[in-house]
Amino acid sequence: MTRLLLQNSRNSRIFFVLVLLSACIAPFLVPPGYLLHLLVMFLIFSIMALSLSVIVGFLGELTLGQAGFFATGAYVSAILAVDYGWPFWLSLPMAGLLSGVVGILVGIPSFRLQGPYFAIVTLGFSQIIGLVITNSISITRGPMGISKIPAPEINLPFLPPVVFDTEKSFYFLVLCLVLITIYVIRRLLVSRTGRAIVAIRENPALAQSIGVDLYKYKILAFFISTSIAGVSGAAYAHYVRVITPHLSDVYYTTAALIMVVVGGAATIAGALVGAFIFTLLPEALRFVEDARLLIFGVILFLSIRYMPQGIWPALLVWTARLARKANSSNGGADQ
């Protein structure tokens, strides 16, 4: 899979630029309002899906607690902004950092386990995070949630202030966050740390024998993943501007998990494709709105049954096969 990507690295770079260009043009083509709102949600959930792909795709462990860190990030940033007047540009990184710290605290005990045990314990921790948010009323306002979260704004001297309070402006803000996330994850993957993480997935015993400290790298991967989840939560909080403890519901974990698994767990593009499908699909399925979860379940099953690597890798293999076929038929004609 990675070899395939490397071989086509020039092609994939062109492809990336094309996608980026269309992402920049999209808000001007799409009518403002609901559709643009969906695109913003797609970008926010892309960050969430990317965070999950670090664990599910690259480390190869199933975590069911991601919504807990999404909620942590949202609450940290919202509380800092509303109660302490922090600007978004400081509260967002702080949300990522604190979610990551909570991630380390959760990871230290959880990574002593693996497989289904790890999945269950992370699920338990995210439920605990939800309970703490719901019941720490003096800090989080409990089940009522936090409202009137300020929109991000830039106040430079001698320039008019820029406020990101429309769908279009927020779209570009989150697009930058998505690009930063992709950059961070790509850098991570080619780094020593990233190679160690992938080695753990491929063969833990072998990785350990050549000196990779499994436990340390797993927790490091978890820190990175939960920080990114926290950032996506913070972005969500300042975009929707109202948050409730429901953000830690298993629903959000499942949603992100489906995006990652259906899109392609071990690829960055796969997570994005999955997020795109699952934020826009509900729109296409509006006529069966009540059966949405059922359809998601069926899609999840069909995808793990028939496309175990996910849609994106399946597409790549398919296009590569088409290209090879085209090449060989051309070669035949030349002779």
Partner 1 sequence: MSDLIAQLAVFGIVNGFGYAIAALGLTIIFGVMRIVNFAHGEFYMLGAFVAATLIATTGVPYLVAIPLSSVVVGVIGIASERVFIAPLHNRSHLTLLLSTLAISMIFLNAAELIWGSAPRVITSPFEESLYVIGPVFLTGQRVFIVAVGIVVVVGLGLFLKYSTAGKIIRATAQNPEGAALIGVNIGLVRSMTFGFGCGLAALSGALLAPISMTYPVMGQALAIKAFAVTILGGLGSLPGAIIGGLTLGVVEAIAGGTLSTAYRDLFSYAAIIIVLLLRPQGLMGAAR
Which residues contribute to the site for partner 1 (CB under 8 A)? 56, 60, 62, 109, 112-113, 115-117, 119-121, 123-125, 127-128, 131, 134-135, 250, 254, 257, 261, 290-294, 296-298, 300-301, 304-305, 308
DSSP state of 242: -
Q: Give the residues across from 153 on adjacent strands.
A: 163
Torsion of CA 228, 268, 196, 194, to 10 degrees: -60
Amino acid code (one letter) for 58? F
Of 56 and 177, nearer to partner 1 (C-beta) is 56
User: DSSP state, 185?
Assistant: H
Say how far apart CA 282 and CA 251 lie, in whole Å. 15
> 223 and 102 in contact (C-beta within 8 Å)?
no
> With respect to partner 1, which residue has the nearer C-beta, 162 or 302?
302
Report the residue number, 290 or 334, with the smaller CB distance to partner 1: 290
Integer Cα distance of 194 and 35 in angstroms: 36
Least Å distance, CB 87 to partner 1, is 34
Q: Write down the residue that tokens 């949300």 correspond to.
A: 95
Q: Find out whether 231 and 181 touch, Cβ atoms under 8 Å.
A: yes
Nearest approach, Cβ of residue 301 and partner 1 (Å): 4
Residue 265 C-beta: closest distance to partner 1, Å: 9
Q: Based on CB atoms, which residue is closest to partner 1, 127 or 193? A: 127
Closer CB to partner 1, residue 96 or residue 130? 130
Reported as type and span, the H/E element at residue 162 is: strand 162-163
Q: How far is the CB of 325 from partner 1 (least distance, A)?
A: 30
Nearer to partner 1, 247 or 261 (CB): 261
The C-alpha angle 252, 258, 264, rounded to 5 degrees, equals: 135
Measured from the CB of residue 316, what is the shortest distance to partner 1 in angstroms? 20
Return the number of the residue (32 or 143) whose C-beta is nearest partner 1.
Answer: 143
Q: Sign of the C-alpha dihedral, residues 323, 325, 326, 331?
A: positive
**Geometric angle at alpha carbon 43, from 42 and 48, rounded to 5°:** 90
User: Cβ of residue 193: shortest distance to partner 1, in angstroms?
Assistant: 23
The encoded tokens of residue 46 equal 């892309």
Between 24 and 295, CB nearer to partner 1? 295
Structure tokens, 100: 């990551």
- Asked if 243 and 78 touch (Cβ cutoff 8 Å), the reply is yes
Q: How far is the CB of 32 from partner 1 (least distance, A)?
A: 32
| Shortest separation between residue 139's beta carbon and partner 1, angstroms | 14
Nearest approach in angstroms of CB 127 to partner 1 is: 5
- Rounded CA separation 198/59 (Å): 6
Type of residue found at 89 = W
Comparing CB distances to partner 1, the nearer of 48 and 121 is 121
Give residue for tokens 């699909």. 281
Kind plus residue range of the DSSP H or E element containing 230 = helix 214-240
